């Protein structure tokens, strides 16, 4: 039975909130997750490998549900923002934990439906939905978040006359812009998402005359990887005003969706609020704002993505080449990089990494962890303190469960990694590894370009 990392008495303790909740050590000090030894998983399934800890994801789902039940006196629903990591398995887990799901494309919507997510708990987002996406949602009676006039124009045409109306949630820009440690309020946000606040009243007036539309919700989302709680307090007041307006115009609005955004810990110095603290602030602010305006409490929806899955994921790589630039730095290269984790090159995001079989060994060198892509900027971590390592050692990058697999690419025609779900000593492949042949599946070679055909 692996021992768990213990806070305060283990060199890994600063990583306690960085590693998955089931992270532990076997009797020889090798790292385990879900009672599976990580170096064994690397050997069995190859690297790079995404590993997801089912118990950790379920615990986060329950934390949202419990906190909502505890802090909000009305009905509520936590909706998994599946852009963070979309798969049949994650849809099934979210469904079985009583969560809903936010999809932003036909692909995410199909994944949710086929993963067993009840249609009535799915919310379809998107600032440029195709007719295919709108129809798929409408036919399954999925809640459609009307993001702009284009959505309304298309739905007016697509919903057959005399049939049941489309269930709509209206998204607007609340005028609160968040950065990780500060936020600003402006009248009109420069955002591609949602109706401008000024448009809300005329749009709601118009929709009150449309038989094809039933407006039952309002939505706003202020940003992602946010550690501050105050912006969410302000958001509640802005949304309660919108709720009062919509109900005053006769819309049967029962749902208030405050979006997602709670940040997680990627490196030791990150200090995000807990799920419970976040929900408490949001719930209390919504209750207070509704009471001030004498509004019946709506159903409270929130849309967490990152905070449900990020910390429960790790990525395993094999260490390959080493290059020392004397007096400058030492590069250690791994067998993946920006194609399986584009966050460092895209957002300069920071991560934490350790050796799978010697996570507690003393770090003696500072290295630059490079990916294998043809791009100088393909660096996963700068100044990583590591114990001595050799080619073939397995390296673990922590907190990769969100916005890694879902943002992966085939740059340099590198196949995507497999993903395994670990639980109680069992590992199951939930997304198989791509092969180089897979990548050729959508190429076609015009006959005149076939090898051996003379040019001209």
Contact 148, 127 (CB under 8 A): yes
What Cα–Cα distance (Å) separates residue 320 from each residue in 48, 289, 331, 372?
12, 56, 10, 9
Supply the minimum distance, in Å, between the C-beta of residue 65 and ligand LLP.
16
Per-residue tokens: 361: 């060994």
Kindly tell me which of 2 and 197 has the beta carbon lying closer to ligand LLP: 197
Supply the minimum distance, in Å, between the C-beta of residue 442 and ligand LLP.
25
Kindly tell me which of 174 and 305 has the beta carbon lying closer to ligand LLP: 305
Q: Which of 36, 210, 290, 374 is catalytic?
A: 374
Binding site for ligand LLP (CB under 6 A): 81, 83-84, 102, 125, 221, 224-225, 259-262, 303-307, 343, 347, 403
Kindly tell me which of 25 and 281 has the beta carbon lying closer to ligand LLP: 281
Kindly tell me which of 159 and 235 has the beta carbon lying closer to ligand LLP: 235
Contact 67, 93 (CB under 8 A): no
User: Is residue 290 among the annotated active site residues?
Assistant: no
Per-residue tokens: 180: 């990780």
Supply the minimum distance, in Å, between the C-beta of residue 258 and ligand LLP.
9
Supply the minimum distance, in Å, between the C-beta of residue 372 and ligand LLP.
21
Dihedral, CA of residue 140, residue 143, residue 147 and residue 149, to nearest 10: 60
Kindly tell me which of 13 and 346 has the beta carbon lying closer to ligand LLP: 346
CA distance 146 to 150: 9
Long-range contacts of 135-144 (CB under 8 A, 24+ apart): 136/106, 136/109, 136/110, 137/109, 137/166, 138/166, 140/109, 140/113, 141/167, 142/103, 142/109, 142/167, 143/167, 143/168, 143/169, 143/216, 143/217, 143/255, 144/168, 144/169
Per-residue tokens: 204: 């709601």
Supply the minimum distance, in Å, between the C-beta of residue 174 and ligand LLP.
12
Looking at the annotation, which residues are catalytic? 374
């Amino acid at each position: 039975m692996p021992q768990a990392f213990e806070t305060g008495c283990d060199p890994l303790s600063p990583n306690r909130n960085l590693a998955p909740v089931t992270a532990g050590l076997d009797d020889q000090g090798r790292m385990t997750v879900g009672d599976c030894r990580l170096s064994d998983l690397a050997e069995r399934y190859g690297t790079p490998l995404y590993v997801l800890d089912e118990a950790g994801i379920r615990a986060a789902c329950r934390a949202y549900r419990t906190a909502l039940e505890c802090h909000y006196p009305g009905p509520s629903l936590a909706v998994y923002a599946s852009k963070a990591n979309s798969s049949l398995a994650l849809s099934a887990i979210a469904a079985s934990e009583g969560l809903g799901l936010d999809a932003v494309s036909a692909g995410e919507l199909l994944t949710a439906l086929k993963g067993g997510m009840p249609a009535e708990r799915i919310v379809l987002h998107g600032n440029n939905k195709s007719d295919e996406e709108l129809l798929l949602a409408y036919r399954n009676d999925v809640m459609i978040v009307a993001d702009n006039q284009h959505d309304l124009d298309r739905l007016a045409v697509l919903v057959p006359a005399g049939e049941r109306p489309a269930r709509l949630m209206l998204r607007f820009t609340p005028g609160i812009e968040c950065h990780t440690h500060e936020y600003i309020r402006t009248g009109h946000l420069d955002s591609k998402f949602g109706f401008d606040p000024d448009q809300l009243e005329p749009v709601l007036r118009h929709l009150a005359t449309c038989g094809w539309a039933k407006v039952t919700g309002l939505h706003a989302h202020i940003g992602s990887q946010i550690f501050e709680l105050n912006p969410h307090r302000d958001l509640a007041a802005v949304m309660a005003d919108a709720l009062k307006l919509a109900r005053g115009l006769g819309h049967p609005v029962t749902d208030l969706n405050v979006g997602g955004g709670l940040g997680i810990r990627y490196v030791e110095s990150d200090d995000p609020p807990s799920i419970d603290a976040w929900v408490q602030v949001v719930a209390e602010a919504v209750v207070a704002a509704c009471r001030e305006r004498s509004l019946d409490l709506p159903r409270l929806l929130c849309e967490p993505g990152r905070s449900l899955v990020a910390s429960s994921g790790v990525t395993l790589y094999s260490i390959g080449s080493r290059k020392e630039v004397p007096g400058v730095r030492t590069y250690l290269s791994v067998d993946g990089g920006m194609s399986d984790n584009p966050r460092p090159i895209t957002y300069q995001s920071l991560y934490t990494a350790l050796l799978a079989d010697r996570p507690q060994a003393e770090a003696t060198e500072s290295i630059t962890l490079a990916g294998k892509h043809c791009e100088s900027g393909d660096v996963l971590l700068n100044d990583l303190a590591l114990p001595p390592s050799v080619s073939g050692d397995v390296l673990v990058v922590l907190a990769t469960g969100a916005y890694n697999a879902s943002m992966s690419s085939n740059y340099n025609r590198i196949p995507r990694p497999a993903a395994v779900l670990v639980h109680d000593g069992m590992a199951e492949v939930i997304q198989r590894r791509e092969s180089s042949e897979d990548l050729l599946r959508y190429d076609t070679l015009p006959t005149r370009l076939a090898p051996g055909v003379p040019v001209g």
